[in-house]
Amino acid sequence: MTECWELLFDLLMAERARMPTIAAEFDLSPTQVHVLRLLEPGTTVPMGRLACGLGCDASNITGVIDRLEARGLVERRAGERDRRVKVLVVTARGLELRTRLLSRISEPPEPIARLSPADQRALSAILRRALDQPSSTPRTSRIS
Amino acid sequence: MTECWELLFDLLMAERARMPTIAAEFDLSPTQVHVLRLLEPGTTVPMGRLACGLGCDASNITGVIDRLEARGLVERRAGERDRRVKVLVVTARGLELRTRLLSRISEPPEPIARLSPADQRALSAILRRALDQPSSTPRTSRIS
DNA sequence: CAGAAATAGTTGATGTTGGCAACTATCCGC
DNA sequence: GCGGATAGTTGCCAACATCAACTATTTCTG
């Protein structure tokens, strides 16, 4: 039964343009949005973990953070225990933007918003079951 | 009730690395995969419609198609009614690859595959309701 | 019908992201 | 301490993304 995945995939593709659009509203790239999303306030994230979370090579992160840092949204700090690592924290400005960003992202797109309340509840319940269970193979990252 | 969209978004993000990985298996870029997916066999698609489907500027398509054509997966033909447009068709080679590609893509990822058959059925039903209804605002594209 | 306006696709410039290999600085185990 | 692993950076190059300008064609309008 691959049907439900195919439907999900269709939904995904139909909403594919959403992220770049939202990112552009905040003058960010999609990758930068993803980074900000992963940088939960009050926590510090080493760059390597970010690379895992984004599923891309560590060398890309450097440039992405460079640009975010240049805009004063993020800060690099030396790791305490290990001076090789550099941990990231959101600045006050970054946090403010992040908050607006996340609230914008969480607006459900039309196909979902249109569902009946009952369907929405059922969908939430199913997705929670899909996501909550620990994976058998350790996932690429478990942020935070 | 934005919760179910947030869950869906989490699932989406968790599977974000899937497409680039699959694309790489076929020596394609994610964008090229998307293009091949939109080129249903037996139909011809003008390049402009592809730009809509990908949600990007028309000028990008030129290069993407250039590379696909160079590999003999796709062919440009002059439009019949309007000689400005160039329509695309998959070649025999492209069709063969497309078939393998789509079957690979349709393998459900772990979180979905793990759902109980009942949940899968319920999910399919809900998603069908979400997708089937015609949109109130004309969508960016209506492929085919 | 002729000329203006619109449209499809391409090209060129520029910036961001993607991977890979090489490099530096630091840590860990023996 | 010395050798091997590890975190991040840098350089190189390919792919995509946008935008503006250009060509060829169509379509609208006077």
Tens place of pLDDT per residue across chain B (144 aa)? 788 899 999 888 888 889 999 999 999 999 999 999 999 999 999 999 999 999 899 999 999 999 999 999 999 999 888 999 999 999 999 999 999 999 999 999 989 999 999 999 999 999 999 988 654 443 333 333
Nucleotides of D under 7 A from a protein CB: 6-12, 15-21, 24-27
What is the per-residue pLDDT for B16? 85
Chain-centroid distance, C-alpha A79: 23
Euclidean distance between CA atoms B27 and B17, whole angstroms = 15
What is the per-residue pLDDT for B15? 84
| Residue A24: pLDDT over 80 | yes
| Residue A16: pLDDT over 90 | no
pLDDT digits (tens, 9 = 90+) for A95-138: 999 999 999 999 999 899 999 999 999 999 999 999 886 544 43
Residues 48-67 of A with CB under 7 A from strand C: 54-57, 59-60, 63-64, 67
* B14 touching A (Cβ < 8 Å): yes
Listed in sequence order, the residues at least 6 apart from A104 whose beta carbon sits closer than 8 Å to its beta carbon are A22, A25, A26
- Residue A142 confidence class, pLDDT cut points 50, 70, 90: very low
Coil, helix or strand at residue A74 = strand
pLDDT digits (tens, 9 = 90+) for A38-83: 999 999 999 999 998 888 999 999 999 999 999 999 999 998 889 9
Coil, helix or strand at residue B122 = helix
Which chain A residue is nearest to residue B119, measuring alpha carbons? A126
**Chain A 68-127, residues with CB within 8 Å of chain B CB atoms:** 105-115, 117, 119-124, 126-127
What is the per-residue pLDDT for B3? 85
Best mutation target, A123, A131, A133, A142, to test chain B (most B CBs within 10 A): A123
